[in-house]
Amino acid sequence: MSEAKFKLLVAPPAIVSSAILVLLFIVLLYYSLPALGEYGLGLLASPTWKPVEGALGEYGLLIPLAGTLVSAIIAVLLAMPLALASVVFTEEILPRGMPRWREAFVAMIDVMTGLPTIVYGLWGAAVLAPLLGDTLYRWLYEGLSFIPLFSCQPVTGNTILTAGILLAIMITPFIYVVVRESYRQIPRTYREAALSLGTTRYEYARIMMGMARPAILAGALIGFGRAAGETVAVALVVGNTFNMPSCLLAPSYTVSSLIANQFANAQLYPLMLNVLVSGGLILLLIGIASNILGIMYLRRVRYVA
């Protein structure tokens, strides 16, 4: 096979592979335009969702957008301490004479990243949501209902907070991997310098985490992107109700779970398909933006030893 033929064999697949993302963006934009033309900014700012079969309904994405943001932010806030503690646990506490335990722990984290999201969703809907509804949410409502976030009486366990908690469990391994990778790159001389000061483990870990700060931010962003885009697991626990997520103990909606529930039948309603596609376009932008920002932060982690 000549050089030219070889190139002819491998270049088209590369073109196809890179064209997919471009095609995705163009198709989503193309189908979004009619909705943007009809509803304008109201598409993002209106909380109304009134489908009318065979006639033009009123559609605003404010509630699912807020739900996506709130659930993803809860997920990152809860996942971060777990991920950072796991990094310190495997990198500083365990290695002293226990390499097998360390390997086992890392294998568990790996399995968690690979476990199908639908399995998390099934467990979340059947086990986690009822459990939280009967315990934590009752306590939060009874004890802390003077805080607006906990001021609504929980009816079931399917709430925006459950979505956030389930997402936190799911994204912890991803944040862990991002932070651990750059934690390991901290040069030996820095570590020795910190240790030579006679630091306790706590002081030492604080110094190391300070050095890994860009990676922590990157992990938060990448975790946020994952959480915002997660679909089926959230759809099973979020309650799927058009309800502003101002109280965390009530059901709500997210953009992805709205798409999962409504997209297949959206063609029955004029413009509903286009509205859902524009929701998808926003998810695409959130996913790409959080990834690009995350990579930018990771690039800043360049230690000069």
Partner 1 sequence: MPDWRRVKDRIFTVATVLLALLAVAPLFHILATVAIRGGSAILRGGVSFFTDPPAYPGSEELGGVGPALLGTLWLGLATSLIGVPLALLTAVYMVEYRESKLARATRVFTSSLLEVPTVLIGMLVFLVVVVPMGRYSLAAGSIALAIVMLPYTVSYVERALDGVPRTYREAGYSIGMTRAQVVFQVVMGIASRGVAAGVLVGVAKVLSETAPLLFTIGSARGSYPTGPQSLLEPGDALPLLIFQFAQTPYSNWQDLAWGSALLLTLIILVIFTLLRLLFREVKL
Give the rounded distance of the alpha carbon of 141 from its chain centre: 26
**CA angle at residue 115 from 113 to 116, to 5 degrees?**
120
Q: Which of residues 283-302 bind partner 1 (CB under 8 A)?
A: 283-284, 287-288, 290-292
15 touching partner 1, by CB under 8 A: yes
Q: Which of residues 30-69 bind partner 1 (CB under 8 A)?
A: 31
- Is 104 exposed, middle or buried, given 0-12, 13-18 or 19+ CB atoms closer than 10 A? exposed
Question: How near is the Cβ of 295 to partner 1 at its closest, in Å?
Answer: 9
User: Cβ distance 222 to 175 under 8 Å?
Assistant: yes
Question: How near is the Cβ of 201 to partner 1 at its closest, in Å?
Answer: 5
CA dist., res. 292 & res. 235, Å (int): 27
Task: For residue 218, give the nearest of 106, 301, 276 by alpha carbon.
Answer: 301
272 touching partner 1, by CB under 8 A: no
Per CB under 8 A, the list member of 43, 65, 72, 125 interacting with partner 1 is: 125
Question: How near is the Cβ of 254 to partner 1 at its closest, in Å?
Answer: 11
Q: Which stretch binds partner 1 (CB under 8 A): 45-53, 57-65, 86-94, 147-155?
A: 86-94
User: Cβ distance 43 to 59 under 8 Å?
Assistant: yes
10 touching partner 1, by CB under 8 A: yes
**Residue 82 is which amino acid?**
L
**Residue 212, SS3 per DSSP:** coil
Q: Which stretch binds partner 1 (CB under 8 A): 44-52, 124-132, 135-143, 146-154?
A: 124-132
18 touching partner 1, by CB under 8 A: yes
Interface mask (CB under 8 A) for partner 1, residues 214-233, using x and -? --------x--xx-xxxxx-
134 touching partner 1, by CB under 8 A: no
CA dist., res. 82 & res. 180, Å (int): 13
